[in-house]
Structure formats: C-alpha cells, structure tokens
Structure 1
Amino acid sequence: MIFAVLLPLLIACFIPMISKIKDKVHTGIFVLFIPLFIFIYFIQYIGSDFSPVRQSYSWIPSLGINLNFYLDGLSLLFVLLISGIGTLVVLYSVYYLHKSERLGHFYVYLLIFMAAMLGVVLSDNIYVLYTFWELTSISSFLLIGYWHFNKKSRYGALKSMLITVFGGLSMFGGFILLSVITGTTSIQAMISQTDIILNSDYLPLILILILLGAFTKSAQFPFHIWLPDAMEAPTPVSAYLHSATMVKAGIFLVARFSPIFSSYEWFFITVSIFGIVTLCWASYMAVRQTDLKAILAYSTISQLGMIMAMLGFGTEIAVFAAVFHILNHATFKGSLFMVAGIVDHETGTRDIRKLGGLLTFMPMSATLALFGTFSMAGLPLPFLNGFYSKELFFDATLHLNEGALTITSFLIQIIPYLAVFGSIFTFVYSMYFLFGVFGGKEQIEKLPKKPHEAPIGMLISPIILVMGVILIGLFPNMVNGTFIAHAAEAVSGIEITKDISFWHGFMYPPLLMSLVVVGLGTVLVTTRKKWTGIYQYVPGKFSFNGVYDSMLRKLTSYSGKITDTYMTGSLRLYAAIILSVILIVTFSVMIATNGFYITFDNLAPITILELAVVLIMVVAAIATIFAKQKVSAILILGVVGYGLATLFVVYRAPDLALTQLVIETITVALFLLCFYHLPQLRPRNETRGFKTINAVIAISFGALMTLVGIASHSSNWFDSISEYFVETSYELGGGKNIVNVILVDMRGLDTLFEIAVLGIAALAIFSLIKLKKNKEAK
C-alpha cells in the first residue's frame, strides 16, 4: 500500500522535466497512468470475501510514529474514489487546460494532493494521518490558488487554508489526548480500547477537537464559507477536490472514529445537528446563487451535511446509507462539475443569468446534466443511484431510537421534517441548475462567445461518471455485497446485510416523503421568481463571509498594533525582551521542578592560579561597561575569552584551549573589522529607572545562568554518558583520543553539519568581499 502513497510523490518529482515537452504532448497524458494504475491495483480487493490488510514500516519507533497502513472496506471505498475520479479528472484536464498554462505546476500540485489523500485514508497511525491531513490543506491551497494572478483565487486559497488548518490543529490536539489515554498511536488499537476512552474525563474535549477537524474539512455549518470561494480553482480541481476527495476527508474522519464515539450520546447530538443544519442551510442558499460552480458548491455542502447527519445517527441503516451516498455523490456531482466546466469553456461564462436554451447547442452536455441533476434531486426513478441513497436517508430518519435526554427526543422527532425541508430545496436547486442552463430562452447575445458542444475528449469523463449513475441505479446490489457492505461494516463495527431495492410499496413512508419533496419542490421551482425575495430577509444583509472578513481584518489590525509596540528597531529592547522571557520561564520551571538543587560534594580544590584568572575575567567583563572607545571595549572583552582558554589549559584540556584561542582571535578580529565602520560610542541620556531595569535584567540573567550551571553539575537525574565513551571509544572508533572519537565518529553528523555551517559562512564572506571588489572596479 505504501507504493500507492509514494508513487504520485515520486512521479511529481519528474513532472517539471516532463512538462518541458508539453508543446508536443500534453503533460496530463503522462500523469493519467498514475491514478489509473493505482485504481486497477486496488480493484483486486473488491469481493464478498474481503478482509482487512495491514502493512507497517518503521519510521520513528521511539515516538510511536510508524507508517502503519490499514486497508478495510471504508479505506478501499475512498482509495477507489481518489484514484478512479482522479483518473477521470486528469483525462478531463487534458482537454480543459491549454498547453500554454503552467501545466508542470498544476500536475505537481495535483499529484501531491492525490498522495496526501491516499495517505489520509490508508493511515492507521494518528500522527501519520495528521501529516497527510495537513498536506491536503497545503496542496489544495496551491490548487485553489493556481490562477494566482486572480485576486479571487488568492482570497479563496487563503480562506480554505486558514479554516482547514485551524481545524487540523484542533484535530491534532484530540489525537494527542487519545494517544495519552490509550497509550497507543494506532487507530485500530484505540478502537479496541473504546471503553477506556468513553470513561475518560477528557472525552468531551476529545470529541470537540476531532469534530472541529472534520467539520472544517467537510465544510459543515458554519465553517462552510470556504468552499464556495474555493470554486475559483480550475474546474478539474473543483471536480476532484470538492466533490469526491478533499471535502470527504472530514466525512472519512468521522466514519473512521465512529466505532469509538457512536455509543456516546453527545456524538449523536452534535454530528446530527450540525449535519442536518448544514443540509438545510446550504440547500436553501444554493437557490440564491447565480454562478454555476457556486450552485454546485452549496449543493456539495448540503450533500455533505446529509452524509454527516447519517453518520451521526449511527444506526445500521443510516451508516449503510451514508456510505452508499458517498459513492453516489461522487458520481453525479463529479459529472455536474465537469458539465459546468464545459459550459464555462464553451460559452465563456458561468453566470446562469446569461445562460439558457443551450440544449440545442450542447445536447450531449444537457443529457449528462439531466441524469446528474435528477440523481442529485433524488427523483424516484429506477435508473438513478441518487434516489436509492436518498430513500435510505429518509428511512434512517424514521428509525432513530428514543434517547434519554429531552433534547435527544426532540431531535429525533424534528429530524425527519428537516430532512424533507433540505431535500425540497435540493430538488429546487437541481432543477434550477438544469433548466436555468439548458432550458428556457436562448440569450446568445449575452454570451462572450457562441456556444457549441464540447470536444469528445472533454465529454468522456462525465459520460463515464453518468454511466456509473445509471449502472448503480439499475444494479444497486452489484456494488452492495462486494463493496458497500464492507465499508459500512468498517464504520459500524458489525456486519451489515442490506438488500437495495427500488420498490417497497406505494405506502412506503420514505417513498411518500420523496413524493412530497418532488411535489412541493415542483411548486417552488415554477414559482421561484415570486418567493426568492425572502433572501432579502433571511439571511438578508447578514453574511458568514462578512463575519470571516471582519475577524480577519481585526486580527490583522490588532496583531499589527501589538507588533508595533515591541518592534521599534532597538536592539537593546529586543535583547531585554528575549532575556526577560528566558529568565521568567527558566526560573519558573526550575522552581516548579526543584531544579535549583545544589551540592558541593566531590569538587576539586580551587588554587590561587584559578582564582587569579577568574578575577581577571570578572574585572574585564565589568570594565567593558565603562569603556569609552569601541576598540578598547572589544579588546577588554577579548580578555574574557582568552581567560577562558587559560582555564582550559589549567584543567588539562589542550584541544579545547586551542579551539577557544582560535575562535576568540577570529571573533576579536571580526569585531574590530565590523565596528570600524560604526560611529563612535556616545554617552546616552538615560534615566535612572532605565538603567536600573537594565541592571536588574543583566544581573538576574547572569545569576540564573550561574545557578543553572552549578545545579546541572549537582543533579543526578540521568546516568552520566562519559563512562560509555570511555569504555567504547577505542573499541568502536579505534582512537585513543576520546574527544576526537566523539567528534569524528560518535557525533559525526553533528560535526559534519557544523562544518557545513562554517563553509556556508565562509562562502557568504567571500561573496561579500568579491561583490565589494566588483563595485570598486566599476
């Protein structure tokens, strides 16, 4: 499984070279085979006798961070969606993106995102999952902002980044708490310790933190505002990220941790409320939009809300319906995004107010849109997969168990009505999209260019997706026992056997609910212009985007003011702040941990020579304060360094003494060179209070470091490593000089990087000298 994650990353390294020949062959042709290969490989796991597969690779075992991969029914569903839809999106992009675009950048970002999503759904280690989780945020930021010259693209990319990363960090906090409670970093091992987690005092906090990650990623209310602005990305990105993959990462997270939290009543309350509210609000707001991709964006939010609500219900039928709808939504929504891209590509606009009557110009696209929108609307037709999962959703709302809390009982009673309400507006925006683009009167004069049908290459991908809609609709049990049932079992933890059928009788309650949706939805569609004025009152002038923009402006303003208070350009102030913080934090920690334990046992006697050298160093250090000239201050300061070298000689450490002498000589020389170009020292008119503060900070910090040094010598918290070096330096390093063996062999990497730093510094100095000579020569 690790190859599926690493393969896209490996190929991404070669895309910049491959893209150089894009004038001859479109870069997407080379990329196409990567997701296709992954898709074909994982198809082998589909079957009625499928059992989970585990693979583990050591990474940082000391921290419990290993590349543990786990393939069960749920992760298999997402892997096939990521690779399958990814293949179709890459094929679509070959015809959508012109060769003049920055194709190298686009496909590098796309492959990174693909690898990140595969890592998310396959990872069994919480820290590895989090790593891939944040990589999806970074890569989606790059994809959304692909047309970076467009202000709206930059705005949408930044908004998605801020919101999803905020959720990701919250989720990470929940993961840490789970790891501390269970003593493991494996998700499956955590599931086996469900009782320990449910009995933990941190359970509410863990649930909140993890759900924040899921809700922000899956654009749940009120974090949904980033998704419509993300539609500024190229349509292939929208079809991939915002219909089948990234936005479903939050769905996956809730599904993966459902075996832990499903028996916790507040999980049902929280997830169900947010899911059903998201369904209703987004479907209601979708009818207000005029941009085709904005309509689809809000429709995606509403569909994600429906899936999230079903996962919150937690019943067998609800979990089965949720998993089934994940597959169905990817097929019809992916095709609709592609159709919207085709309309934009062939007409030059996505404004539905300028479109209409395109059926005669784009009959194939209209046909694809018809199947996609009818399936999304949940019309009771046997060849549409969307109806089956929508009917299962209605059935799930009618079979919620009674809860112990009053709010739960009320929620169980009101959820079916909210489900019908949200579904009515789902029907409305579906018909609004279809007939607003392909029906009605032609408005050719308003279009930037004359419409015509898209080339067959651009139609292949949506055709395949629509064929999926029809085939699943005609043969729903074809993907049930061999595919969907395994995914549902992975979520619920028990085997779910559910036969999917179209007809259950005319008086079947979910069918009656569907007929109510179609009936009332038809009335609203035909009278849309008469009631859309309600949007002037609800939401009216209120906008969650306005709240976000206001918060961002205030955050920027306040942070700027705070920064201006200490970023004054005064090096003395910076040093005072840094030393004060170190002083306070270190002193507090040392006091709290009894770190100032000091003993004078086993100390060597102090001789007159040592006292004399130390006294000279102290006098020299104090003398620098009263020096009037720069040169004298530097020379006096050098006495301190040379005094330290003398102490090394006294303590029989000639190698350290030589090192200190060399460093001190170079330092003094460099100081003299640098300070030669600075103005002379001048007396400063400083208040007594200012001088007192400086003295307090300096004396306190010096005293603290002295005490820390003495305390470190007195502490015996850990066994000394010196004996290990004495015993093994000759045996392992073959040298009698222990210091040399440590530097060259035992800490060879440290020494290597230290040499690299010195080499870089030398190159920088050489460059500056050469640059100055070149300027003087000119």
Structure 2
Amino acid sequence: QFPFHFWLPHAMQAPTPVSAYLHSATMVKAGIFLMARLYPALAGTEQWFYMVSFTGMATLLIGAYVAMFKHDLKGLLAHSTVSHLGLITLLFGMGTELAAVAAVFHVINHATFKASLFMAAGIIDHETGTRDMRRINGLWRYMPHTATLAMVAASSMAGVPLLNGFLSKEMFFAESLQLNLPGIWAWLPPIVATLAGIFAVAYSARFIHDVFFNGKPVNLPIYPPHEPPRYMKIPVEILVFACIMVGMFPAVSVGPLLYAAAHATLGGEVPDYQLAVIHGFNLPLIMSFAAFFGGLIMYSQRQKFFDFHARFKEIDEKAVFEAIVLRIVDLANAFTARLENGSLQRYAMLLVVSVLAVAAMPLLDLGIFIGETGLSPVDWPTAIAAGVLIICALLTAAVHRQRFYALVVLSVVGLIVALAFARFSAPDLAMTQLSVEVVTIVLLMLALYYMPGWTPVETPLKRRFRDIAIAGIAGIGMTLVTLAMLTHPFSSISDF
C-alpha cells in the first residue's frame, strides 16, 4: 500500500505466467490475506477505520492515476493491480461485515481478470517482441482470438455489466454510501469510489483501443504478428470463461466459494447479501454509469491529460525510498557516533541517567517511600559494618585516580557485602560473593600490572559536579526504594 507500493511495478522481470500468478493471485495478495484473517480481531475500531481505509483510498487513486499514463503493457497492469489492492484494503478498512464480503469477492474477481490480462500481455509480447503500447497498435486484424479474450478481461477490469468485475464494483459503490462520516466527509468515499471507477474505465479503454485498434503496428521487432500456439491461449480462455460465468450466474458459479471465504474472514455469521446481476435502478448503478461514461470521456480527451501529466517530473518512488533509507542510516550513524565516543565514564553516566528517568515516574506516584511498619533496631556489629562499607565506598571514589589503592578499598566493600550475606543467614550468597570478589580482584590486579598506576587525564570541575549530582540522586533513590521495601508489610512468596 502507499507509500510502499512501488516494489510491485518494479517486479516485472519474471516470465509472464509467473507474473500472472504473482501479480493476481498469490504474492501481492499475501498481505490482503493476512488482513482478512486478522479482521475479526482488529476491525471495528476508529484506529482501524482511519488507518486502513485512508491508506487504501490513497493507494486506490494513485495506482489508478499512474496506470493511465504507462506505456508498458505490464506497467499499466501492475499499477492497476496496485489500485485494486487499494480498493480491497479500503473495503476491509470500512469495518462493516458487508464491506468485508465485498472485499473477499473482489479478491476472487481480481484474480481471474488480472491473471488473464497478464497472460494476454505475455502472448502479445511473445508474438510482437515488445510491450510498448505506442508500437503494438491494430493487433485485432492479426490476433482476433487473443484480442477478444483480452477485451473481455479488460472489460471486466473496467466493471462492465455481465462480467464479474461489475458485481464486486457495485458492492464497493454500495458500501461507500453506507459510511456514517460527519458532515462533508460523508461525500468523500462515494466520490473517491466513482473517481477510481472513472480511471479504471479509462485505462481499460486505453488497453483495448491502443493495443488492438488505433491504426497499424509501428516498427515491431516481430512482423507480422500472428495468433500464438493453441495451448498458450487455453489458460486465458479458462479465466475469461470464469469472468463471464461469475458475471452472468454469480449465485451458482461463485456463491458457495464466496460464502465459505466470507465466513472464514468474519469469524462468525455472514450477513445477508444477494448475488444478482442487477439490483434495480439505484444509486450504486448510477455511480457505475457515471464511472463508465466518465472513463470513456476521459479516454477520448486523453491527450489533454497526457499533456497535463507531462508538466510534472517523473518520480522514481524506488529512488526516493532508497534515499530515505540511506538518510535514516546516516542519521543513525551520526547519533551512534555522538553516543559512543569511547568513554566508559560517559556510558556509565548514560546508563544511570536512563535508569533514573525510567524509574522516576512510577516511584513518584507511590508517594512517601517509608512505610508504616518502621525500621527494626540495628545491632552494633551491623552498624559498624555499614559504617565501614560507607567509608570504603567514599574512599573508592576519592582515591580512584590512584588505581591500586582504589582497588584495595573496593575489595573491602565486596568483603563487607559477603559478611552481610553471612550475617543475615544467606551462606550461599556469601560464598558466591566471596568467590566472585576474589576472582575479580585478582584479574583487576593482573590488568593493573599492564596499565598506568594512576588516571592521567584530569576531569574538569564542572563534569565532576555533574557526576556527583547524578551519583547522589541515584544513591538516594536506591536508598528510598530499599527503605520502602523494608518498612512495608511483607508477605513471603512461599505462602502463595
């Protein structure tokens, strides 16, 4: 979907049967299929409606507009596919059950007429040596059988009555009128639907007229063109026959399949709907007539539209996307370079500040940290150990430039912590702490042997005050959290 629709027109290098398979039935429908499967869980909210329906609306119009001006047969069909996928997305975005049924129906119809059109385009390319619509004119007199099949499929794409594309388009028009949007916005979906219908008729008429009529061929690589071998036309004949059968006898030909797919999509009861060729003279039928005759008028005045389109510079969406990706990568690299400057002190500061920022809001919501139970009295050995721990921690910070002394004092901190574990009946933690402490200090002593005995760079006074403030806030915060844990009622997890 827009703005990530550009990959599809670029994926034109496959052989035509593969293009027909990928561009009508499978690969481009994978996201549609996923959206249909998740429809019961995600649909029905305002976010779903606005995000999905307006994305589909933009894709529907942009794909239809661009398809009108493409000279490559496959390019025209690819952009029309983008437009029809936008139509299906818009239907799913509407959030009503009948719109979801119409979306599933159009998935089936689009697969048949678009696959047949891609196969016909492959036949034309095979027999003429080119897909340029400015050169492959007047093929009706050379390939009448292929021309008839392609014209029926293109008419289905345009939504001509008695063909399958007409039925799902009528359901689309009807659902666009059912949206209860406020004020003038209620007119937007029907207007967009009719405008997209006009473009669909215009590019379908261009496909039919420019390829099969419109004078004589111009400098074809293979001349004169002729009908392909019999077996190349059989797939197209089967698909076109399906277009006609669904268009004329929808209830019999596609009714059970559509019901099964709609039931799976909705995840429950399927609403009542009628598969009829004509539902009477109503507003959706008037919209169909407006789209049909408006598209023919647009195609008859196509030179004015081509002149208008020529005023604007062609935009290569792929190049724009890749430029945006490169720009994002450059910004990420610049941000990383600013963040990672090789200073371990800076990394520690950012880590502590991040923890403070994340923890501050929930902790402030808790109110006063000290609970109602109060603190139990502390005996004198524990108080002495706590005092030694505090003094050694302060000394570590004070003498950290003299690395050997800082390491000795730091090892005392670790030893006191191990003794505290043993004092409060956690011998396993005490043993672990002691083992880790010994190994760590020995390794750090070994590292100091190969390093200077002091820190050579003097820290600016401003940065020192910054570090003291951050460390103080972090320490006070941790103290308050500990006090909260110690002074609130405690229940052991063993009771649970």
| Equivalent residues of 1:361, 1:453 under 8 A apart | no
Question: Which blocks of at least 5 consecutive residues in structure 1 are unaligned?
Answer: 1-218, 725-778
Give how far 1:408 is off: 5.4
1:274-321 CA deviation, whole Å, 9 max, x = no partner?
Answer: 766654443222112344444234313332444456667788976664
Q: Distance in 2 between matches of 1:721 and 1:602?
A: 21
State whether structure 2 residue 390 is matched by structure 1 residue 618: yes
State whether structure 2 residue 31 is matched by structure 1 residue 246: yes
Structure 2 vs 1, CA of residues 274 and 227 (structure 1 numbering), >3 Å: closer, same or farther? closer
Structure 2 vs 1, CA of residues 679 and 438 (structure 1 numbering), >3 Å: closer, same or farther? farther
Q: Secondary structure at the match of 1:441?
A: coil
State whether structure 2 residue 68 is matched by structure 1 residue 287: yes
Larger Rg: 2
| Equivalent residues of 1:243, 1:330 under 8 A apart | no
Give how far 1:350 is off: 6.1
Q: How does 1:699-714 map to 2 (within 5 A)?
A: 699-714=472-487
Q: Distance in 2 between matches of 1:364 and 1:706?
A: 87
- The correspondence for 1:535, drawn from 309, 315, 328, is 309
Give how far 1:334 is off: 3.8
- The correspondence for 1:469, drawn from 234, 237, 243, is 243
| Equivalent residues of 2:247, 2:277 under 8 A apart | no
The residue type paired with residue 232 of structure 1 is: H
The residue type paired with residue 471 of structure 1 is: M
| Equivalent residues of 1:356, 1:443 under 8 A apart | no
Partner of 2:363: 590
Give how far 1:500 is off: 1.2
Structure 2 vs 1, CA of residues 499 and 341 (structure 1 numbering), >3 Å: closer, same or farther? closer
> How many residues get paired?
483
State whether structure 2 residue 184 is matched by structure 1 residue 407: yes
| Equivalent residues of 2:128, 2:221 under 8 A apart | no
Structure 2 vs 1, CA of residues 357 and 702 (structure 1 numbering), >3 Å: closer, same or farther? farther
1:348-392 CA deviation, whole Å, 9 max, x = no partner?
Answer: 976656766788999987666444322111233x3x311233345
Partner of 2:411: 638
Give how far 1:649 is off: 2.9
Partner of 1:29: none
| Equivalent residues of 2:146, 2:227 under 8 A apart | no
Q: Distance in 2 between matches of 1:292 and 1:595?
A: 73
Q: Secondary structure at the match of 1:244?
A: helix
Structure 2 vs 1, CA of residues 634 and 281 (structure 1 numbering), >3 Å: closer, same or farther? same
Partner of 2:459: 686
The residue type paired with residue 720 of structure 1 is: S
Structure 2 vs 1, CA of residues 515 and 594 (structure 1 numbering), >3 Å: closer, same or farther? closer
Structure 2 vs 1, CA of residues 360 and 696 (structure 1 numbering), >3 Å: closer, same or farther? farther
Q: Secondary structure at the match of 2:4?
A: helix
| Equivalent residues of 1:231, 1:238 under 8 A apart | no
State whether structure 2 residue 4 is matched by structure 1 residue 226: yes
Q: Secondary structure at the match of 2:455?
A: coil
Q: Distance in 1 between matches of 2:374 and 2:157?
A: 80
| Equivalent residues of 1:242, 1:300 under 8 A apart | no
State whether structure 2 residue 348 is matched by structure 1 residue 570: no
Question: How large is the Cα RMSD of the aligned pairs?
Answer: 4.8
| Equivalent residues of 2:375, 2:487 under 8 A apart | no
The residue type paired with residue 83 of structure 2 is: S
1:181-228 CA deviation, whole Å, 9 max, x = no partner?
Answer: xxxxxxxxxxxxxxxxxxxxxxxxxxxxxxxxxxxxxx2xxxx23113
| Equivalent residues of 1:292, 1:352 under 8 A apart | yes
Q: How does 1:316-715 map to 2 (within 5 A)?
A: 321-337=102-118, 369-380=150-161, 382=162, 384-394=163-173, 400=177, 405-407=182-184, 410=187, 415=190, 419-433=193-207, 441=217, 443-445=219-221, 465-479=239-253, 481-485=255-259, 495-501=271-277, 514=288, 517-522=291-296, 524-525=298-299, 528-529=302-303, 531-537=305-311, 561-594=334-367, 596-598=369-371, 601=374, 603=376, 605-608=378-381, 610-625=382-397, 626-715=399-488
Q: Distance in 2 between matches of 1:293 and 1:679?
A: 71
The residue type paired with residue 167 of structure 2 is: Y
Structure 2 vs 1, CA of residues 512 and 670 (structure 1 numbering), >3 Å: closer, same or farther? same
1:635-680 CA deviation, whole Å, 9 max, x = no partner?
Answer: 3322221222222333343322222221112212222344444444
| Equivalent residues of 1:354, 1:443 under 8 A apart | yes
Q: Distance in 1 between matches of 2:285 and 2:57?
A: 20
The residue type paired with residue 302 of structure 1 is: S
- The correspondence for 2:492, drawn from 687, 712, 720, is 720
The residue type paired with residue 492 of structure 2 is: S
Structure 2 vs 1, CA of residues 615 and 300 (structure 1 numbering), >3 Å: closer, same or farther? same
Q: Distance in 1 between matches of 2:86 and 2:345?
A: 55
Q: Distance in 1 between matches of 2:451 and 2:130?
A: 62
Q: Secondary structure at the match of 2:3?
A: helix
Structure 2 vs 1, CA of residues 676 and 451 (structure 1 numbering), >3 Å: closer, same or farther? farther
The residue type paired with residue 228 of structure 1 is: F
Q: Secondary structure at the match of 2:437?
A: helix
| Equivalent residues of 2:73, 2:132 under 8 A apart | yes
Q: Distance in 1 between matches of 2:468 and 2:494?
A: 38
1:552-597 CA deviation, whole Å, 9 max, x = no partner?
Answer: 6665565555444433222211211221222243233222112622
| Equivalent residues of 1:621, 1:637 under 8 A apart | yes
Q: Distance in 1 between matches of 2:388 and 2:482?
A: 20
1:538-559 CA deviation, whole Å, 9 max, x = no partner?
Answer: x667898898678666655655
Q: Distance in 1 between matches of 2:92 and 2:430?
A: 69
Q: Distance in 2 between matches of 1:347 and 1:606?
A: 99
Give how far 1:598 is off: 4.2
Structure 2 vs 1, CA of residues 668 and 374 (structure 1 numbering), >3 Å: closer, same or farther? same
The residue type paired with residue 325 of structure 1 is: H
Q: Distance in 1 between matches of 2:207 and 2:30?
A: 23
Give how far 1:713 is off: 2.2
Q: Distance in 1 between matches of 2:254 and 2:194?
A: 26
Bigger drift between 310-319 and 638-647 goes to: 310-319
Q: Distance in 1 between matches of 2:437 and 2:49?
A: 68
Structure 2 vs 1, CA of residues 483 and 570 (structure 1 numbering), >3 Å: closer, same or farther? same
Give how far 1:426 is off: 0.7
Structure 2 vs 1, CA of residues 694 and 419 (structure 1 numbering), >3 Å: closer, same or farther? closer
Give how far 1:535 is off: 0.9
Q: Distance in 2 between matches of 1:475 and 1:484?
A: 13
Higher relative contact order (CA 8 A, sep 6+): 2
